[in-house]
Structure 1
């Protein structure tokens, strides 16, 4: 069953291809999404990022379908966050820390549940210099000048949100944005 091609969505799979755990080839992810009926499936990098046509399927429904198919077809359990193109555009626009000198050190920590943004208020009031934290409606944004692994902001967000968040560096987010806005090829 093909899904009508009208709503573009972005899927972010948490923890895919990090180290040796949860290995998923992007060709397998594209096939899995196509087999679910999604159209014009494109992937970005090798870390569980996909852009696709979802027709009238709501992002939450897409997330559930993809999570279930990952387990059933590929034997991989992973949290999946799906955003509509409008939600993704809003997330991109709300990053008050962009542009960054080094987009690899600027993270978008995408919330699986947007209501979790309210839980971030106490963290957004703390002084993090030289790091920085900004909070939008669907993501937190962390500037990590000394690197992500050394970031106190990222560590605090991880403790607070656990697996309710998945992060991407700003360079990857820009690539996803380009695909949503008509870039021709998978990257």
Structure 2
């Protein structure tokens, strides 16, 4: 038996309003049927944690995406991080988190192209702020996520699928 890795899969744009509805028991069943173990979900927004011996993260993501499409008719991207990567991004947070509802992390599937932020002026979005760290972008959104303008503006510049989670969710996924 190979080494067991604990993954967090963040499904992009599921259960937002009436779009891409998925029941968490169905999501857990799909994941378990793929041979993953210790499967659990968090909230109703497409967060799933599981263990697997499959060492290739891209294969894990692709298999999950294909199974969701085949079994549930759900077409979405699965953005994966290992449990160790999640702990590292929590430990490396550049923001003093006094209110976890005002801090969010944008998880990118791939590392963005070098220079993607060149020429981007975050000034018009103040008091919103951002910090980049590899495949994550941290946001401080003092007026809340619902009215935030900076994350959508950043998302339009990226050439990779991404999904955002608030700090409370991020810290509960480890």
TM-score (norm 1): 0.84
The aligned runs of 1:83-162 (5 Å cut-off) are 83-97=81-95, 99-116=96-113, 118-120=115-117, 122-123=119-120, 126-127=122-123, 128-161=125-158
Question: Is the contact between residue 95 and residue 134 of structure 1 (CA under 8 Å) also seen in structure 2?
Answer: no
Aligned-partner SS, 2:173:
helix
Q: 1:166 to 1:44 in 2, by over 3 A?
A: same
Match of 2:20 in 1: 22
Give the superposition deviation at 1:5.
Answer: 6.8
5+ residue gaps, structure 1, are: 178-187
Q: Which has the higher helix share?
A: 1
Match of residue 31, structure 1, among 29, 32, 46 = 29
Instruction: Name the Cα RMSD after superposition.
Output: 2.0
Q: 1:117 to 1:23 in 2, by over 3 A?
A: farther
Moved over 4 A (4+): none
Give the superposition deviation at 1:104.
Answer: 1.7
Aligned-partner SS, 2:126:
coil
Aligned-partner SS, 2:116:
helix
Aligned-partner SS, 1:69:
helix
Question: Is the contact between residue 54 and residue 60 of structure 2 (CA under 8 Å) also seen in structure 1?
Answer: no
Match of 1:185 in 2: none
5+ residue gaps, structure 2, are: none
Question: Is the contact between residue 107 and residue 163 of structure 2 (CA under 8 Å) also seen in structure 1?
Answer: yes
- How many Å separate the matches in 2 of 1:56 and 1:163? 24
The aligned runs of 1:41-80 (5 Å cut-off) are 41-80=39-78
Question: Is the contact between residue 117 and residue 136 of structure 1 (CA under 8 Å) also seen in structure 2?
Answer: no
Match of 2:10 in 1: 12
Q: Aligned residue pairs: how many?
A: 173
Question: Is the contact between residue 110 and residue 160 of structure 2 (CA under 8 Å) also seen in structure 1?
Answer: no
Q: 1:47 to 1:4 in 2, by over 3 A?
A: farther
